[in-house]
Structure 1
Amino acid sequence: MSQHSEELGVLVLSNSSNWIAEEHVYPIFRVPSPLRSIAPPLFTPQVLAMGPLHSPAWNPNIPPSLHSTYTEMDHYKLLSWQKIFKEDVPEQEAPFLHFLHQHKDIMLASYGGRIEKEYDAFALENHFVNRLALDACFIAALLHSLFQENFPYLKEKMAMEEIIMVSRVCTTAHIFPIYSRTIGRPVQKAILQDLLLVENQVPLIAVKQAVKIESKCRSDEEAERILELYVAALAHRVLPFSRSRRTVLSSVKNASSGAHHLMDMMYSIVCMHSDPSSEGVRYQNVSKDPHVMDMPGANRIHVSGVKFHGHWGSLNELSFSNGRLFLPKIHVSDDTERYFRNLIAYETCFKTERLDLVSYLHFMDFLIDTPADVGLLVESKIITEAIGSDAKVAEMWNSLCRNTMCVFSPKYKAVADSIQSYCRSPWRMMWAEFYRSKLSKPWLVASLLSAAALLIMTLLILWYTILLYHHETS
């Protein structure tokens, strides 16, 4: 052993009594570099910085271009604060700040001690609560305005008691005229995208309190129900899965219980189980071998007789029976990759006992190998696309699972195994092989048809010759 190694061994032994404390991942965190390095801009707020991680006042590493954009949005945060506390409920300003100061430790815990390590006590005492107070009020006003826009549509699926409750709260969204008239539509869209970034979250306890004051709720319970309706409007607007408004309203009620922030609620909505008893189950004894399976692409299993059907539901609502594969419909747009990458980071780093999202993405990655596979799923009304071409959709799906382990929840593994067993039927394998070798290319099909036509013509000529010979000899 070298002298350096001996010294290192002595150092380790001498410090064996001072074990390094186990690190935990908390609800609001910076995305690890293996995931961030794939597409850094997709984890960075475009226009709206929420909380301290991307705030120019807290983070000196913000690029100048983003620094000016974030600072400009701070103007709208202050404006929403003034609308709430200077015009409507001025007497609630001090109690609101007092409430946040009382719960400062809880909110700091959402960041897992990172804020205390990176910033001094003065900043924590004087700026942390004020920053979250402004952000929470802006989120409350923004969600209120979004709900007002979608209320005519959501009203059709709301229970009568919910409609009555909504009619009692403040019906005028404070930021609505400003948000809709002075901010361009591209910026409005970017704001909604920024609300669902894993590094850009505000503890839900602050948002609930801001909603209670902004919407003039009578109690904490009413504020929680109003927040659920607001989040339902947000989910209906931004999430890529096609779901009925009634389904969104019912799933968001299950998502609010124990949620840490808005993105946590969105994750629960996206991953809602059709069987509520299986919600949050820890998946055990699931193989994490990257080569656990090799399911063929959509076109290959389609040739084997599998029919694809799309339906409205969450990503856990899939099934396979009698050669029919039912998958949730999904709308793929230019912001779908951003949502999925942040949800991947949240599940793989914080919801580590869950395999819902990763299972779905790997399953779809197996199905989508080529643009032709995307075309088949579009034709089956499983995918609707708004990013230009089947090739771009295929490229997106094939890159989403990079730096993630190929894992499957029991439900996805059961469906995948059923598909493989179905496609391994001897006659289906023979037909699939014949199709790939003889019918998969246009010129082969043309050659086969030409040969068939020539054979038929030859048989007809032979038959006509035989008839003519018998006629002449009779």
Structure 2
Amino acid sequence: MVAVFYKDMLSWYLLTLKIREKLEAENQGQGSEPINPDQNLPSLPEVTRSDQDQEESNHNHDQTLSEASKIEVTKGSPKEPRDDWVISITDKLEQAHRDDDTTIWGKLCIYRVPYYLQENDNKSYFPQTVSLGPYHHGKKRLRPMDRHKWRAVNKILKRTNQNIKMYIDAMRELEEKARACYEGPFGLSSNEFIEMLVLDGCFVLELFRGAVEGFTELGYARNDPVFAMRGSMHSIQRDMIMLENQLPLFVLNRLLELQLGTRNQTGLVAQLAVRFFDPLMPTDEPMTKTDQSKLENYLARDKAFDPFADMGELHCLDVFRRSLLRSSPKPEPRLSRKRWSSRNTRVADKRRQQLIHCVTELREAGIKFRRRKTDRFWDIQFNNGYLEIPRLLIHDGTKSLFLNLIAFEQCHIDSRNDITSYIIFMDNLIDSHEDVSYLHYCGIIEHWLGSDSEVANLFNRLCEEVVFDTEDSYLSRLSVEVNRYYNQKWNAWRATLRHKYFNNPWAIVSFCAAVILLVLTLSQSFYAAYAYYKPPS
């Protein structure tokens, strides 16, 4: 009995001593005075204790052991879930602070197409043959073109007797600047991103130069599966004009400088791009032979050729867009001069995108249509009741081209919306296949699609999710003039008379005969009445 009692009390004493030692260690870490382990510790009890005291001691021993185990569990338990939640919120705020850096936004120019536009037709926004840039890099369906990209790099190195390291070092210097051009993270390491710039950039330049100089002159076989002017080139051109499939123009400029061995090649890549994408132009006026000879002479080191000055082009899509608008004087000024001025701070209203009535309604109001002879497809004029519209050529690549131009103008704040304004204007004009048929009759629309209904459907779907301010359109003044003419009742009455009674030569003959008959009848009646009141003497 006594041995058991001593054993229990000794266990209680050792546990208490252990707890004291832990408390002392914690207090020393907090700078407090150490605790004497013998202080306030109970002395070993005497043998002469009652059974009641023994039961109390056993109860205290069990309670102390339970508290000690609780302390041990608390000390070794992991952090509470709430702590991880607070850390997660802090990380998100830090990322938001980094994303709020406006200096990064200023360099952004290659965007991901917004989802609300992709719902219209995502195939027109995503490449089907070749990937350029990081957004679609490494996708399975586009990998077969990678071996042809490496062929292009190899051909350049052999032709110029250069080392690949020179290109890698040059792209490493431009890496940070190039990354800032793209929207959002894309998961490529530094080496992968630099390799992508070299590979895609050299591939693009080979296509550009081959379209001007000839691929055989660059060392490619006549029957090359990619570097030859064959049917697949149209698919490649269409992919290279997509918004998500772009390379910064300064990357291409630097790579071309390395190839030619001289600096100050400003504007040459832009000129090559315009020549390469010329078959996609929505007009039937190809680049003149004079323009082609200028490019060929420059590539032959003819210093007489003065390339365009640097206009601040961002990438090939921006170059193509500027080429559509650069070849002529600027469009008419808008009703609102500044796109984001203090007068134009409201959100564009989707209900106010009707610039003009459709062709059928305008014809009923007496407005006539005729083709305007110019290669500037957007240069529309209205004079003396005639709406003059340049010829527009529509082919199977027009839809993708217009959709990506619209997407760029919707995303890039510093871009005017001239292409979007033109397409919405044409969308207003075309409501049905009858409208397309009449514009085709006037020589305004030429298309290679299956039917006029497909053309009408194309325009009606191009701007389904696009929102813009009608007052910010270069066609706003013209639309006001057309609508003013449309609202004049006399013009509508005159048009109705012409459409119903003068719509063919036989109707004109019948009308003239009726007028003559009416005049003769009135004359006969007059002379009969005159003879009755004033008979001859």
> Who is 2:179 aligned against?
108
What whole-Å deviation, never above 9, does each CA across 1:44-66 have from its counterpart, x for those lacking one? 1011011111112xxxxx4xxxx
> Who is 2:232 aligned against?
187
Q: Structure 2 length normalisation: TM-score? A: 0.66
SS in 2 for 1:275: coil
SS in 2 for 1:91: coil
Work out which of the residue numbers 494, 498, 513 in structure 2 matches 1:431: 494
Work out which of the residue numbers 225, 250, 256 in structure 2 matches 1:211: 256
**Amino acid paired to 1:133:** V
State the distance in 1 between where 2:94 and 2:252 align: 43
Change in Cα spacing, 1:357 to 1:189, as seen in structure 2 (3 Å) is: same
The reply on whether 1:378 has 2:449 as its aligned counterpart is: no
> Who is 1:97 aligned against?
168
Alignment of 1:269-418 (within 5 A): 269-272=323-326, 274-275=328-329, 282-283=338-339, 284=341, 285=343, 288-292=348-352, 293=354, 295-303=356-364, 304-351=366-413, 353-408=415-470, 409-418=472-481
> Who is 1:268 aligned against?
322
Work out which of the residue numbers 143, 148, 156 in structure 1 matches 2:213: 148
What whole-Å deviation, never above 9, does each CA across 1:77-99 have from its counterpart, x for those lacking one? 010111111x1223242222111
Contact 1:141 1:174 in 2 (8 A): no
What displacement does 1:364 show? Answer: 0.6
**Amino acid paired to 1:43:** Y
State the distance in 2 between where 1:461 and 1:225 align: 76
Change in Cα spacing, 1:92 to 1:17, as seen in structure 2 (3 Å) is: closer
Change in Cα spacing, 1:460 to 1:271, as seen in structure 2 (3 Å) is: closer
> Who is 1:78 aligned against?
150
Contact 2:418 2:474 in 1 (8 A): no
The reply on whether 1:44 has 2:140 as its aligned counterpart is: no
**Amino acid paired to 2:147:** H
Contact 1:272 1:279 in 2 (8 A): no
Percent identity for Structure 1 against Structure 2: 21
State the distance in 2 between where 1:323 and 1:97 align: 61
Work out which of the residue numbers 483, 495, 504 in structure 2 matches 1:420: 483
State the distance in 1 between where 2:331 and 2:478 align: 19
Structure ranking higher in helix proportion: 1
State the distance in 2 between where 1:127 and 1:347 align: 30
SS in 2 for 1:320: strand
User: What is the aligned length?
Assistant: 411
Change in Cα spacing, 1:103 to 1:406, as seen in structure 2 (3 Å) is: closer
Q: Which has the larger radius of gyration?
A: 2
**Amino acid paired to 1:358:** T
Contact 1:323 1:422 in 2 (8 A): yes
The reply on whether 1:32 has 2:114 as its aligned counterpart is: yes
> Who is 1:133 aligned against?
198
**Amino acid paired to 2:156:** I
Contact 2:237 2:277 in 1 (8 A): no
Runs of at least 5 residues in structure 2 that lack an aligned partner in the other structure: 1-88, 295-305, 529-537
Contact 1:144 1:230 in 2 (8 A): yes
The reply on whether 1:230 has 2:272 as its aligned counterpart is: yes
SS in 2 for 1:308: strand
State the distance in 2 between where 1:428 and 1:343 align: 37
> Who is 2:137 aligned against?
55
State the distance in 2 between where 1:337 and 1:296 align: 23
SS in 1 for 2:387: strand
State the distance in 1 between where 2:126 and 2:274 align: 24
What displacement does 1:40 show? Answer: 1.0
- CA RMSD for the aligned pairs? 4.2
State the distance in 2 between where 1:311 and 1:148 align: 31
Contact 1:240 1:336 in 2 (8 A): yes
> Who is 2:217 aligned against?
172
> Who is 1:165 aligned against?
none
Q: Structure 1 length normalisation: TM-score? A: 0.74
SS in 2 for 1:220: coil
Change in Cα spacing, 1:105 to 1:174, as seen in structure 2 (3 Å) is: farther
Change in Cα spacing, 1:457 to 1:324, as seen in structure 2 (3 Å) is: closer
Runs of at least 5 residues in structure 1 that lack an aligned partner in the other structure: 1-11, 57-61, 150-169, 470-474
What whole-Å deviation, never above 9, does each CA across 1:234-291 have from its counterpart, x for those lacking one? 23222213446359889x9669521121111112122337335989974354683334
More displaced, 416-425 or 296-305? Answer: 296-305
State the distance in 2 between where 1:349 and 1:291 align: 21
Contact 1:81 1:137 in 2 (8 A): yes
SS in 2 for 1:198: coil
Change in Cα spacing, 1:88 to 1:300, as seen in structure 2 (3 Å) is: same
What displacement does 1:379 show? Answer: 2.3
**Amino acid paired to 1:127:** E
Change in Cα spacing, 1:137 to 1:177, as seen in structure 2 (3 Å) is: farther
Change in Cα spacing, 1:425 to 1:209, as seen in structure 2 (3 Å) is: same
Contact 1:282 1:354 in 2 (8 A): no
**Amino acid paired to 1:416:** S
Change in Cα spacing, 1:346 to 1:377, as seen in structure 2 (3 Å) is: same
State the distance in 2 between where 1:254 and 1:183 align: 28
